[in-house]
Amino acid sequence: GAVVSQHPSWVICKSGTSVKIECRSLDFQATTMFWYRQFPKQSLMLMATSNEGSKATYEQGVEKDKFLINHASLTLSTLTVTSAHPEDSSFYICRAGDPDEQFFGPGTRLTVL
């Protein structure tokens, strides 16, 4: 079946630095990818919808200048957390858009010190 990968699987950074997370669809093309954030013991919250070749669509309350999304190809979307702060520490998960909504990435654990 289709596989979605994320890199890195975990990252620790200092406050004020930027972190880039990659999401790749390995054996299918995804014109749309979705980025979620999940805090401990909570559900997944959609942050933004990444569209190949166009601007991402952000959910209400998500700062587009802080969470930069680039979907440069049909198999890669990147999420950059700029000027990260401890409150940005979370589990970031991507999902590659497919008709049956099946394929999530394994997630990236971000810890901001």
Partner 1 sequence: GESVGLHLPTLSVQEGDNSIINCAYSNSASDYFIWYKQESGKGPQFIIDIRSNMDKRQGQRVTVLLNKTVKHLSLQIAATQPGDSAVYFCAERGKAAGNKLTFGGGTRVLVKP
**Positions in the binding site for partner 1 (CB under 8 A):** 4, 6, 32, 34, 42-46, 49, 91, 93, 95, 97-107, 109
Query: CB–CB of 25/31 below 8 Å?
Result: no
Residues 48 and 50: their CA atoms lie apart, in Å, by: 6
Instruction: Give least dist CB 99 to partner 1, A.
Output: 8
C-beta closer to partner 1: residue 2 or 72: 2
Instruction: Give least dist CB 111 to partner 1, A.
Output: 13
Backbone angles phi, psi at 88, to 5 degrees: -85, -5
Tokens in use for 112?
A: 């901001």
Instruction: Give least dist CB 81 to partner 1, A.
Output: 18
C-beta closer to partner 1: residue 17 or 55: 55
C-beta closer to partner 1: residue 32 or 89: 32
Query: CB–CB of 8/21 below 8 Å?
Result: yes
Which has the closest alpha carbon to 113: 79, 88, 92?
A: 88
